[in-house]
Structure 1
Amino acid sequence: MKRDRDESVAFSVVFGLPAEVGLRTAAKALNLSPTTAYRQVRSGDFPCRVRRTGRRYVVRLSDLMRELGIQEVRVRYDDIEAGARFAGGDIDT
């Protein structure tokens, strides 16, 4: 399948970030103690949507980023390839 050069991917995908993170990781990013985070989840006050998978709580990375004020930007394939060429020493991009 031929890829359209104007296609873009999410920044988090380019850098291989996970789609979800554990509650402890989310709490740390939000500057909360794990105890406070679990208490907020139980009371429904945690700042992000939380999903329970088995015995774990997980938070979607996109929800966490939004809560932290980090915009999920789209990156064009052409820009990724140009950056890779530049990093490889090919400065005539």
Structure 2
Amino acid sequence: MNRHRDESVAFSAVFDLPSEVGLRVAAEALNLSLTTAYRRVRNGDFPCRVRRAGRRYVVRLSDLMRALGIQDVRVRYDDIEAGARFAGGEADA
């Protein structure tokens, strides 16, 4: 695939993060006990949108990141490559 050097990708995609996480992961990230998380879901005051997937509750990663104050910013491929070179100990030319 040819790509233009000015293309960008979402931060979450760079690290191949899932699009949704279970309630346990969301609760941990928000520093809530699982019991409190379930109670807040039932009361309708969980910090982000929750949906049922079969018998499980799931939270969209983008909603969880927003609740945590983390922006899913666009990252340029050039910046990713430069960061990888820097992490590998190469000096930026």
What interval of TM-score do these two structures reach, taking the shorter chain for normalisation? 0.7 to 0.9
> Partner of 1:14 in structure 2?
14
Render the CA deviation track for 1:54-91: whole Å, top value 9, x for unaligned: 11111011101111111112110011112223333431
**Per-residue CA shift, 1:18-46, capped at 9, x if unaligned?**
11111011111111111111111112111
Say whether residues 1:68 and 2:68 are aligned partners. Answer: yes
- How far the C-alpha of 1:5 sits from its partner, in A, is 1.0
Identity rate of aligned residues, in percent? 83
Structure 2: state its 5+ residue gaps.
none
What TM-score do you get using the length of structure 2 for normalisation? 0.88
The residue identity in structure 2 corresponding to 1:50 is V
Q: Which moved more, 1:18-27 or 1:81-90?
A: 81-90
Give the whole-Å Cα distance in 2 for the aligned partners of 1:86 and 1:29.
Answer: 29
Once superposed, what is the RMSD of the aligned Cα atoms?
Answer: 1.4
Which residue identity does 1:67 align to in structure 2? A
SS in 2 for 1:63: helix
CA distance, structure 2, for counterparts of residue 51 and residue 85 of structure 1: 40
Aligned equivalents of 2:77, 2:45: Cα separation in 1: 39
In the comparison of the two structures, how many residue pairs are matched? 93
Q: Partners of 1:22 and 1:87 in 2: how far apart?
A: 32
Q: For 1:31, give the aligned amino acid.
A: N
Scaled by the length of structure 1, the TM-score of the pair is 0.88
